[in-house]
Structure 1
Amino acid sequence: MTAPLAVRYPFRGDWVARNSPADRIPSHGTTLFGSALAIDFVGVDAAGRSAPVTFSTLVRPEPPDAFAGFGRALLAPADAEVVAASDGAPDHPAHRGLPSLGYALTQRRRLAAGWPGLAGNHVLLRCEGGAVVALCHLQAGSVLVRPGARVRAGEPVGRCGNSGNSTEPHVHVQAVDRLDLARARPVPLLFDGGTPRSGRVVHVA
């Protein structure tokens, strides 16, 4: 078993943990691309909502900027070297309720595009010891770093978006043992000393 990688939460404010390895492994229902120990964080408002729920939520896609997390700053979770960065994928509408069924039909196309098609806009950070941390689904045009740069923990690297395989704005975080995602093995993450369970609100001042 690979030793856990201690990192900071890659954001400030209130976020809800989803698809956590604290609840099940593989956390996302697959071991593909080293994602077995990945975790998702959804930005929420003071009432704990990612976005207000209305009748239209149930029947049609919603604009990503209607969600509390969309556009929030994402931060480097550790001192690291930037080894990949991409921000050319569009932010697509969010899908909750019935629209999520139609969205599910598009996942095969994203999977066919490989890891970049699933990750959307992303930043890959190589930490001390060699583990690579991925921050995925970033907002189009928001990435602030480029390969070869070094970042310090807490430094802004981009913004939360809804690109790639994402039904609503959130940040997907995972760590792997190598840059080759097709052959990578997952590395456990400890956020400020632990891994939150799904449904837990994380507040970072």
Structure 2
Amino acid sequence: MVTETVLSLPFDGRWLVQNSPARRVPSHGTDLLGERYAIDFVGVDDRRRTADRTDWRTVLSTEPPERFVSFGRPILAPVDGIVVATHDGEADHEARRSQLTLIPYALSQARRLREGVAAIAGNHVILELRGGGLYAALVHLRAGSFRVAPGDRVTTGQPLAECGNSGNSTQPHVHIQLMDDLDLSRARGVPMVFRDFREWPRRGEPVVRDRGIPAEGSVVAPARADSG
């Protein structure tokens, strides 16, 4: 029987769920880099928009990350623990919604994988959970936004950094995963669930869930922070 570890959502406000393990496992189509049960969250406004505008760049080109709702939002510790690793200094690159830019970007995936963990995860922080042996990684963080360093003890809900668009990311979002090793290159993914969140499904009325994994395409927020 697989035991699931319970975490809190690593943010306030509303976020769109992508690559959910509720849809498939491995959630990102691979077991590499401890990603088996990973999940992505993209910040949205109350109209489910991920960006504050669309224009010719949305269709034909790249876009500045600053126009996206996620960019610069605080990312919070999902669990009590200790910071065991951080990586900063990767650039927050232009975002891509246009198919004209997404296709060549997808074709460059193999090259980024050869370049190593930083080219995939970008700026990231890894926490060792209390009790040891399990590690939570939060990746694609904003360059220069870190508020913690290795050795710091953190509590659930404590700010770690800001959401960015570093590493293998087509638009600002946060990727979180639980794993059995702090070294992403050899880690194996571990199942997790989230506690106390409100979920707006693609269809139907919102529900408050005591724990679970949100569905692909739903919008979630911590139950404490958003009653709308």
Please give the range of the TM-score, normalised by the shorter of the 2 chains: over 0.9
Q: Distance in 2 between matches of 1:45 and 1:133?
A: 26
Matches within 5 A, 1:10-159: 10-51=10-51, 52-97=53-98, 98-129=100-131, 130-159=133-162
Percent identity, please: 53
Q: Deviations over 1:64-105 (max 9, x none)?
A: 000001000000000011010112100000011221112223
Structure 1 length normalisation: TM-score? 0.96
CA distance in 2, matches of 1:149, 1:27: 30
Q: Report SS of the residue matched to 1:13.
A: coil
**Secondary structure of 2:126's aligned partner:** strand
Give me the whole-angstrom Cα distance separating, in 1, the residues matched to 2:59 and 2:104.
12
d(CA) in 1 for partners of 2:2, 2:134: 10
Question: 2:148 corresponds to which letter in structure 1?
Answer: V
- Code of the residue aligned with 1:167 in structure 2: it is T
Q: Answer yes or no: is the 8 Å Cα contact 1:122–1:135 preserved in 2.
A: yes
Supply the AA of the counterpart residue of 2:124.
Answer: H
Deviation at 1:2, TM superposition (A): 4.4
Query: Following TM superposition, by how much is the alpha carbon of 1:161 offset from its aligned partner in structure 2, in angstroms?
Result: 0.2
Q: Name the counterpart of 1:185.
A: 188
Which digits, 9 at most, give the CA deviation of each residue in 1:137-187, with x for residues without a partner?
000101111111100000000000000000000000001011132222211
How far apart, CA to CA, are the structure 1 residues paired with 2:18 and 2:2? 23
Instruction: Tell me the C-alpha RMSD between the 2 structures.
Output: 1.2
The answer on whether the counterparts of 1:72 and 1:160 sit within 8 Å (CA) in structure 2 is yes
TM-score (norm: length of structure 2): 0.87
Cα distance in 1, alignment partners of residues 26 and 19 from structure 2: 9
Q: Matches of 1:144 and 1:46 in 2, distance apart?
A: 28
Larger Rg: 2
State the number of aligned residues: 205
Question: Which consecutive unaligned segments of at least 5 residues does structure 2 have?
Answer: 196-210
CA distance in 1, matches of 2:4, 2:165: 28
